[in-house]
Amino acid sequence: MSTSLTITRPDDWHLHLRDGAVLRAVLPETARDFSRAIIMPNLVPPVVTGAEAASYRDRILSALPEGMTFEPLMTLYLTEDTDPADVALAAESGLVKAVKLYPAGATTNSASGVRDFDRVRPVLEKMAEIGLPLCVHGEVTDAEIDIFDREAVFIDRVLDPVRRATPGLRVVMEHITTKDGIDYVKSNDADLGGTITTHHLIINRNHILVGGIKPHYYCLPVAKREEHRLALRAAATSGDARFFLGTDSAPHTDENKESCCGCAGCFTATNTMALLAQVFEEDEALDKLEAFASKNGPAFYRLPENDGTITLVKSDTPTDFPEKIETGEGPVTVFDPGYPVYWSVA
């Protein structure tokens, strides 16, 4: 028996590609199945200006193997010194498709992020004026807030006040991990969208901690309770245009993951579309996969849908995905859902 599903070629609305040897190793894993991706700017040092984004885009394009096509959709890393005019210029030239907000200290390479939101008000106002989306890492960083509550608290303390203070600002609440995040996106208007990762549809916090600590399941925002995972599944598989795929595929070498202070990030670029096909099939929603992976994102970003298609095939025998991707800086472990996956991209 074999089943197949052909959909418009998907895009990834949240992706970490890094730079140098790691970039060269991981880029083909995304470009194989995806036409475009929103590229995260949290390099060391971060991609802050339009000129830095142009140079990073050139490095990405030079790392693309011959015969592959891929369009990196660049973002700027918002700092308290970001110049609204530079952002506007980079957006108007078509180079930059979004600005990324990391609360300072929230995650990997976020030290240059925002502490005082009053200081970025002029940038946010300029973005509202020109319709440039703000991609938000939605977690507070206060030491007294429990890490499992940081997303929900961020909505009340930061996201909602910032949106109210900046009418017309278009916001993507990225990698939503809670029912609170899903409900917040649903209760708002078309200026607010939300991305959901592949791994948060598959794991809850038990997967990280039960039966021994599993560093390859640790990411930020950290996976929450099962009820939250189920809320994410319901939103992703509903076809609701406000929710779209942002894998947050985030390569770290095994040495940096399997450590006494391991880095946050799940690397899902290699098997994301196969995993999603299985998730959507389990939820009897295969007919909604195209909306989630290929249609809702372009609609939010006001970009055309891709021309091509990909075909997903289900077979009787489990698909063999590579366990690791070699990078030259060390191996990166591919996300393992912990069960056999019968889908693959033809």
Q: What are the catalytic residues? A: 248
Q: Are the C-beta atoms of residues 166 and 128 closer than 8 Å to each other?
A: yes
Choose the one of Zn ion, ligand DOR, none that binds residue 219, judging by a C-beta under 5 to 8 angstroms depending on kind.
Answer: ligand DOR
What string marks each residue from 121 to 160 as x (binds ligand DOR by CB under 6 A) or -?
----------------x-----------------------
Which residues within the stretch 273-332 sit at the binding site for ligand DOR (CB under 6 A)? none
Return the number of the residue (60 or 310) whose C-beta is nearest Zn ion: 60
What string marks each residue from 226 to 255 as x (binds Zn ion by CB under 5 A) or -?
----------------------x-------
CB of 208 to ligand DOR, least distance (A): 12
**Which candidate, 255, 278, 252, places its Cα nearest to that of 264?**
252
The separation between the first and the last C-alpha atoms of the chain, rounded to the nearest angstrom, is: 15
DSSP code of 58? H
Query: Can you list the positions of beta strands (E) in the chain?
Result: 3-8, 11-15, 36-39, 71-77, 96-101, 134-136, 171-173, 192-196, 243-245, 309-314, 324-326, 331-333, 343-345
Q: Is 220 a binder of ligand DOR (CB under 6 A)? A: yes
DSSP code of 155? I
Which residues within the stretch 79-118 sit at the binding site for ligand DOR (CB under 6 A)? 107-108
Q: Is 12 a binder of Zn ion (CB under 5 A)? A: no
Return the number of the residue (197 or 306) whose C-beta is nearest ligand DOR: 197
H or E, element range at 53: helix 50-63
Question: What is the bridge-based pairing of β-strands 309-314 and 3-8?
Answer: antiparallel
- For Zn ion, the binding residues (CB under 5 A) are 248
- For ligand DOR, the binding residues (CB under 6 A) are 16, 42, 107-108, 137, 219-220, 248, 250, 264-265
